[in-house]
Amino acid sequence: MYTISNKLKTFSIALIILGLLGVGYGFMTSHKSFEDVETMLAQESSHGGGHAEEATHETASQDVVASEDHAQESHGEESHVDAHKEHVEHVQHQIANRPWSALYVAAFFFFMIALGVLAFYAIQFASQAGWSPVLFRVMEGITAYVLPGGLIVLAIAIASGTIGHYNIFIWMDPDVVAHDKLLQGKAGWLNIGWFAVRGLIFIAGWSIYRFFARKFTIAQDKSDDNSNFKKTFRISAAFLVFFIYTESIMSWDWIMSVDPHWFSTLFGWYVFAGMAVSGITVIAFISLYLKSRGYLEVVNDSHIHDLAKFMFGFSIFWAYLWFSQFMLIWYANIPEEVTYFVTRIEDYNGLFFGMLALNLVFPFLVLMNSDYKRIPWFVVMAGIVILVGHYIDVYVMIMPATVGDRWAFGIPEISSIMLFAGLFLFIVFTALTKAPLVVKRNPFLKESENFHY
């Protein structure tokens, strides 16, 4: 049986505490007065900065431009003052959005790791894979975060529109909806009540599968036949059908609806590719860590090689979806579609294209060679880059719609990562202590123990 070390437990708790302090500081310092924002914009304008004239939140920016045009044509100086006031208030709101958005990005990033592992775990049972049973307990430990992680993401989303001032999803703001015909048409779907119900259904379905799959695998350890394995096989196959639908809808609700005027039919697959490669990377990390501590002796370099192959393969798959989504929309150049990418290229150029290097070029070059996939430090190096790249991916999906060009990477972002990293480590490694680290009576166990690529 695995026992979590005091150092790891202390480290995770310290991350949580420091993260909470930093998040609190971020919220306390995010509320700027109208005069402070006006002064800041004036200083930026005098220094040649473009922030004072830009408002990248789609709906608000259109309102500002419309107001400024109207001011110049009809109402003269008085309307110009109104447009200026509206712009300052918009920037003030963007600054207030930053700690909410930073918290949401980090919460979703760690949650998507656990959900990606849950899908990968179900695939192993549904396909009756013979190489992976020695890694099942690691996967089950990681998926322990699905329930708390999912509830936290949903709670932040709802709180931002109830406790907060519509800091993440503009469709939660009734004043915005009242002046937007497109959002009025989507109000039957995009409303807080139905949003919350859908989210709870998703989380319940994922958690119920995880509960029974783990229950059956533990029961299989003591069973005299394969009945529990067959049960896990059946519920895994059913779960994957449920997952395909709910993961797509979840990605529309929790991520894509921050830009409610934009949509992509590839978005569900795109988010899935990111969560799958991130989850598999964390499986490799935890397996290597446990092996270095004298556990999981049955895990050999061929298992690590296979995990690295999946890291490589899903990195290519993610890049394919990134290119398909970007190139087709950019080439068609339809205004309603390209606005999503215009914002990200203008204000997030380095991050938007930089993550392509982190999520494709680097893993491609490092993990292409078959021998390198067996070297732990090579896998760890590639994995760190992959995780950083996919955090940036989530960051770029959320931040342009909420903070526009007011983005930065500082205390709110770092402390949010620390908070959820600590929580993730504590929950996952505590779950690993609840059962033996290797399953005992899986019918493919011998094949997995003797696996050699």
Model confidence pLDDT, tens digit, residues 318-335: 999 999 999 999 999 988
Model confidence pLDDT, tens digit, residues 247-267: 999 999 999 999 999 989 899
**Of 312, 304, 325, whose CA–CA distance to 361 is shortest?**
312
Binned at pLDDT 50, 70 and 90, residue 317 comes out as very high
Residue 57, pLDDT above cutoff 90: no
Residue 68, pLDDT above cutoff 60: no
Q: How many CA atoms lie within 13 A of 174 on its CB side?
A: 2
Model confidence pLDDT, tens digit, residues 29-45: 988 877 777 777 787 77
User: What is the average pLDDT value for the chain, to the nearest integer?
Assistant: 90
Tell me the average pLDDT across 228-232.
96
Domain total of the chain: 1
- 264 within some domain: yes
- 100 within some domain: yes
Residue 134, pLDDT above cutoff 90: yes
CA 6 to CA 271: how far, in whole Å?
35
Model confidence pLDDT, tens digit, residues 352-365: 999 999 999 999 99
How far, CA to CA in Å, does 351 sit from each of 173, 211, 274, 290, 394? Answer: 29, 38, 16, 33, 11
CA 284 to CA 303: how far, in whole Å?
9
Domain carrying residue 45: 6-449
- 396 within some domain: yes
The pLDDT value given to residue 76: 57
Binned at pLDDT 50, 70 and 90, residue 48 comes out as low
The pLDDT value given to residue 319: 95
CA 71 to CA 66: how far, in whole Å?
8
- 154 within some domain: yes
- 256 within some domain: yes
% pLDDT > 90, the chain: 76
The pLDDT value given to residue 138: 97
CA 58 to CA 102: how far, in whole Å?
19
**Of 116, 142, 110, 117, whose CA–CA distance to 290 is shortest?**
142
The pLDDT value given to residue 66: 40
Cβ density class 161-191: b for 16+ within 10 Å, e for less:
beebebbbbbbbbeebbeebeebeebeeebe
- 37 within some domain: yes
**262's torsion region: left (phi>0), alpha (psi -120 to 50) or beta?**
beta
- 1 within some domain: no
Residue 60, pLDDT above cutoff 80: no
The pLDDT value given to residue 50: 46
* Residues 400/347, Cβ–Cβ less than 8 Å: yes
